[in-house]
Amino acid sequence: MAYTRETQKLIYWLFASYANFRIGADPDAKLNEYDLYIAKKELKRLYIKASGYKADSKSLETYLTVLADNTDAETFKILSKAYIKSMQDFAINNDDFSLCLSLLSQEKANKFVDFLFDFMIEHNIPIRKEIAELYDETQKNKYIFSLLLHKKCCVCGKPITGPHHIDRVGTQGYKNDTGLDKRLSPLCPYHHAEIETGNYTNEEFKEKYPSFDYMLCDEKQIEILKDVYPHHFQAFEEGKNGI
């Protein structure tokens, strides 16, 4: 099933943000077609490398084989999938792939969007405000986890030293904390202190800073975050703390 035009629009907004970053322009600046083309090529090439996907080097020949060998009632469905795969594999072999709505599934488009957001956050690339808000609304947990992973504040984007615990860890600190029953928020030291010393409720802090948010991590996510924050989640043991 083809992915949505809204997701396609989001992808091209992210392309534009990266293109403007490359030339030192504001995220909302107007682009020429060449700069946008180069940005698209670079990000697609990086995604292909990061995904580890190995394209069929003889994709069109494979399609012709399927065409010749399948004549049952499912032929159309089989051939459609084979055709799409052959077209994409042909492009991937040349460090590219199509973003045409009919040639990319929603699942694959979402994975590409996740990669683009992680790349932008990791490399401190400014993006248009409405892009972050859209992603935050539609895929909040992925966005917050990415900020936690890359140690970026959800309010200002500055480095964080440790996640803010929405739910108190208690007098024993992190010794009894598995991380699995405590909601986490990526806040820099300044905003971390502000929410705690200002006696804000979560709702009040979000009203002041709309990008503020938090999440409850699963076991796999805590396993990853424990390497990022070695002094946190001391009670977590892989494979023993699932809830």
DSSP for 155-166, please give it: TT--B-SS-EES
Q: What is the pLDDT of residues 57-69, one digit of tens each?
A: 666 566 656 665 6
pTM > 0.75: no
pLDDT of residue 43: 93
β partners of residue 169? none
- Rounded to the nearest 10 degrees, the angle between the axes of helix 33-51 and helix 5-22 is 110
pLDDT of residue 72: 67
pLDDT of residue 185: 94
Residue spans of the chain under pLDDT 50: 171, 242-243
φ/ψ region of 124 (left if φ > 0, alpha if ψ in -120 to 50, else beta) reads left
CA-CA distances (angstroms) from residue 47 to 65, 119, 128? Answer: 29, 9, 21
pLDDT of residue 67: 61
